Chains A and B, each alone.
Chain A
Amino acid sequence: MTQKTLIIPIAWRSLWRNSRRTLITFAAIAVGVWSMITLAAFMDAWVGSVVHEATNNLTGHGQIHQQGYLDDPSVEYRFSLPPASLDEAMESPQIKAWNRRVRVPGIVRSERESAPITLIGLDPAREVDLSFYGNELSSGRQPKEGHTAEIVLGRRLAERLHTRIGKRVVILSQNSSGEIAESGLRVVGLFDASLEEIELGFVFITLQKAQSLLDIKDAVHEVAFTLYNPEEVQSEVDRLKQVFSDLDVSTWSDLQPLAQTMQEMSAAMIGVWTVIMFIIIAFGMVNTLLMAVYERTREFGLLQALGMKPRLILSQVLLEAAFMVGIGVVVGMVISILSIYAFTNGLDLGPLAAGADLFGSGRVLYPKLDLIIIFAISSFVWIMGILSCLWPAWRAARRVPVTTINQSY
């Protein structure tokens, strides 16, 4: 114990022999750790945003469709389930919200313009906790229940159609017989969405109105659901696949492969960046310690001459590395936490938002302080940093006293 405590002051004070070099190394390690942790937090926020946008924009955490619907989302790939059996299947403690929807392609036409859209028939009250459509509309109201001839448009679609609340539009789609289904509907509400394509591409009517328009009785095209814990999605989907063996049950990542790819790409980028930064840090540390060992060749010989065992010299150099990397890591952690904390209320991408939109991200990113990630990255750098200094430490420990002690400074 006494021998081990002996090396602590020597290691600590040795760090400050060349304080400028030590401070530069601290700074390099701190900046490296800061960049790793901060990048991880912002990439995580980015992916979180992409996933949130993907799931919140009507996808949910999972969906049930008729086989073939995802390849050809037309009226014919509908399904009809006895309400009791669907209720029973969806009564899971994991499922937070679910809703049945009619969802078919169509065209909306105003007095002046027309646009391709996806026509959705649903019960808006059941969209709470399921999609953005469960939130309040930006103006107007939801269509009244039943077979009401009322419709909600995206604000930007309304602008494109040169229409507004109170005006009428015509919806065209194909019914179950392959005939053109057409209906005149009054605009009663407008919604805002974070993604432009949603505002331009979706219109909402009641479920009953959609079913009667398409002549599909009580059939629907999809059942979407969200979970309390999104991590459980695969097990929940597996369960539903057993219940609805003849239907297609998908996870959000099956339905939104771009979001899934972004998530995987982000994890890979964080990994690659961590490795690159670590290699840079490791070179800096090894260089610093090699210089320190080289400058103190005679001293290490002296320590051995005085009776210090090589193992203890190795420990001393590694302890110096532990101090050096440790301080750099702690400083990096503190700066990272402050950097992330500064943006916990959101980082508005501003002019970059349009570009972010292309990748499915929202306009505002919310980086989180993930202590596990912070601890994992810091520990990785600390442990690997010490290990990378084994070589200089080994060089110091194998110095033969007589060849070093008689060298002049």
Chain B
Amino acid sequence: MTTIVHCNAATKTYGQDEVEVHAVQAVTVEVTKGEFVSLSGPSGSGKTTLLNLIGGLDRPTSGEITVDGSRVDQMKKADLAELRLHKIGFVFQAYNLIPVLSALENIEFIMQLQGISPDIRRKQALSILNEVGLEGLGDRRPAELSGGQQQRVAVARAIVSEPAIILADEPTANLDSATAEELLNLMESLNRNKQITFIVATHDQRVIDLTRRRIRMVDGRIDTDVTEAD
């Protein structure tokens, strides 16, 4: 199996001297292509920090992190931006769509940054929009969409360029249960049908139950790492 993420003794410490906070402590973990992984644990257990380290949004204090063969911990800012653009998709708790762009433009945004021609990206974006069940809503700005619809756009944006991995941080936290259910089904089907690798940081038991590999973190360390047999 192809290794997508490899963390070797990844550590993240905030603050200095007496007020140091060890958010992530010597975490070693490997995620392979097509896995659907949940990162759970109490608040402050380090799941979001680990997700940020894998996504190159933050730098580890020590240790190594490799994403699809690239050493994230050694990259420069511009190279990290390039890595995130081509290999990592993000889904955030607060949707984080670009408010001045329509749903379709939000989805096209990543492809535009990648330099894909207008015809191809428009076609691809429309196709993904339909896939996430938002047909006919492409012209709406984020403020004109419900929370669930916005999160679907965020998922569509994350998967449209077919990244090596999608990192989702509490994607269902702001959604009602019916909408959360729909979103989970969407993510699950994308994982099964397109072999897209997901790592989801969550408190939501429904999400945890849906994933086949469940990593639980406590105090910045991996407490349990269980993979469900197919």
Contact = CB atoms under 8 A, between A and B. Distances in A.
A308 B81 contact: yes
B94 A307 contact: no
Given A10-B100, A17-B100, A306 B84 contact: yes
Contacts of A14: 100
Contact of B100 (A13, A309, A405): A13
A304 B81 contact: yes
Interface string B91-134: 01010101111000100011011111110000000000000000
Contacts of B112: 2-3, 6
A298 interface: yes
Contacts of B99: 17, 299
B78 A305 contact: no
Interface in B54-106: 55, 57-58, 77-78, 81-86, 90, 92, 94, 96, 98-101, 105
A302 B81 contact: no
A9 B96 contact: no
A307 B84 contact: yes
Contact of A2 (B77, B116, B157): B116
A306 B85 contact: yes
Contacts of A17: 99-100
Contacts of B96: 298, 302, 305, 405
B45 interface: no
Nearest to B112: A6
Nearest to A308: B113
A402 B57 CA distance: 5
B202 to A, nearest CB: 15
Given A6-B109, A306-B85, A402 B58 contact: yes
Interface string A395-409: 000000110011011
B197 interface: no
Contacts of A9: 100-101, 105
Contacts of B157: 306
B98 A299 contact: yes
A267 interface: no
A5 to B, nearest CB: 8
A51 B82 CA distance: 64
A406 B47 CA distance: 14
B90 to A, nearest CB: 6
A408 B94 contact: yes
Nearest to B100: A13
B105 A305 contact: no
Contacts of B83: 307
Nearest to B83: A307
A10 B85 contact: no
A306 B57 contact: no
B218 to A, nearest CB: 21
B48 interface: yes
B52 interface: yes
Nearest to A6: B112
A310 interface: yes
A346 B12 CA distance: 75
Nearest to B169: A406
B132 to A, nearest CB: 17
B152 to A, nearest CB: 17
Contacts of A95: none
Contacts of A307: 81-86, 110, 113-114
A306 B113 contact: yes
Contacts of A405: 57, 92, 96
A369 interface: no
A400 to B, nearest CB: 8
Q: Which of B81, B83, B84, B118 counts the most chain A CB atoms within 10 A?
A: B81
22 contacts: A2-B116, A3-B113, A6-B112, A298-B96, A299-B98, A302-B92, A303-B98, A305-B55, A306-B84, A306-B109, A306-B113, A307-B110, A307-B113, A307-B114, A308-B113, A310-B77, A310-B78, A310-B81, A311-B78, A401-B57, A405-B57, A409-B94
Interface of A: 2-3, 6, 9-10, 13-14, 17, 298-299, 302-311, 401-402, 405-406, 408-409
Given A298-B96, A309-B82, 12 more contacts: A2-B116, A2-B118, A3-B113, A3-B115, A9-B100, A10-B98, A17-B99, A308-B85, A308-B113, A310-B81, A408-B94, A409-B94
Enumerate the 8 nearest inter-chain pairs by beta-carbon distance, A residue then B residue, closest first: A307-B85, A13-B100, A402-B57, A402-B58, A307-B84, A401-B57, A6-B112, A309-B81
